[in-house]
Amino acid sequence: MNKKPLVSILIPNYNYGHYLENCIESAFNQTYPNIEIIFQDNNSTDNSYDIALKYEKKYRGTHRYFSVGKNKRNLGSDINSNICRERSEGKYLMYLSSDDAIKPTCIERCVEIMEKYNNVGMVMTHRDEIYENGVSTKTPSFYNKSCIIPGEEQAAVFMMAGIAVPSQLLLRRSTMDLLIKRRTTAFQVAGDWYNNFLMACCGDVAYINEALCYYRVHTGSETSESEENLLGIFEHYQLINCFKNTAESFNLKKPLERYEEAVKKLGSMCLRYTVKMLKANKIDSAKKYLYIAPVFDESIINNKIYIDLKECLELDMKELKNKLEKISTLTRKISYEPPEGSEIIEMYTVK
């Protein structure tokens, strides 16, 4: 009998057949021995379901349990993910996006931390990014050390930044059960960020500053559409206010102290979206982002990037392209020190 706790790798899918083999193979290739893989197709119109059935047949009767299900109609991503969870039995859960992949030691390292620290409800790992052409790139880890972070401190960080996608996370089921009871709002775009905040409210958070997953970067996704129609930015404002209400209900002061700062940061986010829309020749969307930026941060009208972007709206396409090449929007190039009160895990620190 396998004495190691069962881990459920949940793969909700819709029309990602092109990436699916890489995703499923990465789940099967884990060094951790006690894993079940739950695949749920949301009535895809591509060959996703056939690919999953191929793997079910291939691994039938082996030490890896692989269960394949399919919805009769598209139920939406949230419901499909919930079906995955309801079909699973693991002590720990990972929602592996079907266009992402995890490295072989990912589950093993995360479980070791979970088993050692019962107060930890969620383990986050760093990630590499992989593009549609298969080329991967490394980015700075969010924290410069692997650590255990007090939940309230990490919730305060989540007020400012959504730093992890589902494929970077291992979740304790018992903490997830608490989260589900406290979840009061559904988000179309920012649901993962909301869940991460709730997990931090319900328990401490571990961070491994080694990249243990591949996050797929590509266009044509729901997120890109939400950016074009401004749904994302307004949902982020709603999200911050939801964080505020949640922090009050948990009596957490640190996240509340960052509320005004978090709202103000949306102004800078609008500028980044303005640049992105201009580069995509979505001029109407670019104008809207630029004009609403001062709603979140009145002082942003004095920002050089804001002034430059306002000038861009008056240029023809050739002049616009040249101007955009000279505009530098802020991207994170450093790793941060862990929050106050964090415990450093030396054995996981990348040298």
Q: What is the pLDDT of residue 302?
A: 97
Pairing of strands 35-41, 65-70: parallel
Question: 328: pLDDT confidence band, cut at 50, 70 and 90?
Answer: low
Is the sign of the CA dihedral 314, 317, 318, 323 positive or negative? positive
pLDDT in tens, 44-74: 999 999 999 999 999 888 888 999 999 999 9
Residue 322 has pLDDT above 90, yes or no: no
Residue-wise DSSP of 194-262? HHHHHHHHHSEEEEEEEEEEEEEE-SSSHHHHHHHTTHHHHHHHHHHHHHHHHHHHHT-HHHHHTHHHH
Structure tokens belonging to residue 83: 């079906």
- Phi and psi angles of residue 215, each rounded to the nearest 5 degrees, phi first: -100, 125
47-61, 281-295, 335-349: segment of lowest average pLDDT: 335-349
CA 95 → CA 125, 151, 170, 290, distances in Å? 13, 21, 8, 35
pLDDT in tens, 148-181: 999 999 999 999 999 999 999 999 999 999 888 8
Q: What is the pLDDT of residue 2?
A: 64
pLDDT in tens, 82-102: 999 999 999 999 999 999 999
Question: 274: pLDDT confidence band, cut at 50, 70 and 90?
Answer: very high
Question: 347: pLDDT confidence band, cut at 50, 70 and 90?
Answer: low
Q: What is the pLDDT of residue 349?
A: 43
Q: Look up residue 143 and give its DSSP letter.
A: B
Q: What is the pLDDT of residue 218?
A: 72
Residues 256-282: what's their mean pLDDT?
93
Q: Look up residue 325 and give its DSSP letter.
A: H
Residues 6 or more apart whose CB falls under 8 angstroms from that of 1 comprise none
Residues 323-333: what's their mean pLDDT?
72
58-62, 139-143, 313-317: segment of lowest average pLDDT: 313-317
Max intra-chain CA distance, the chain: 70
* Percent of the chain residues topping a pLDDT of 70: 96
49-63, 233-247, 251-265, 327-341: segment of lowest average pLDDT: 327-341
Pairing of strands 136-137, 204-217: unpaired
Residue 221 has pLDDT above 60, yes or no: no
Mean per-residue pLDDT of the chain: 91
Question: 351: pLDDT confidence band, cut at 50, 70 and 90?
Answer: very low
Integer Cα distance of 202 and 92 in angstroms: 15
The amino acid sitting at 294 is P
pLDDT in tens, 179-208: 888 887 888 788 899 999 999 999 999 999
The amino acid sitting at 12 is P
Report the run of H or E that residue 94 belongs to, with start and end: strand 92-95
pTM score of the predicted model = 0.91
In this predicted model, which residue has the larger pLDDT, 347 or 12?
12
Residue 350 has pLDDT above 60, yes or no: no
Residue 131 has pLDDT above 60, yes or no: yes
Full set of structural domains in the chain with CATH: 1-99 (3.90.550.10), 227-326 (no CATH)
Residue 331 has pLDDT above 80, yes or no: no
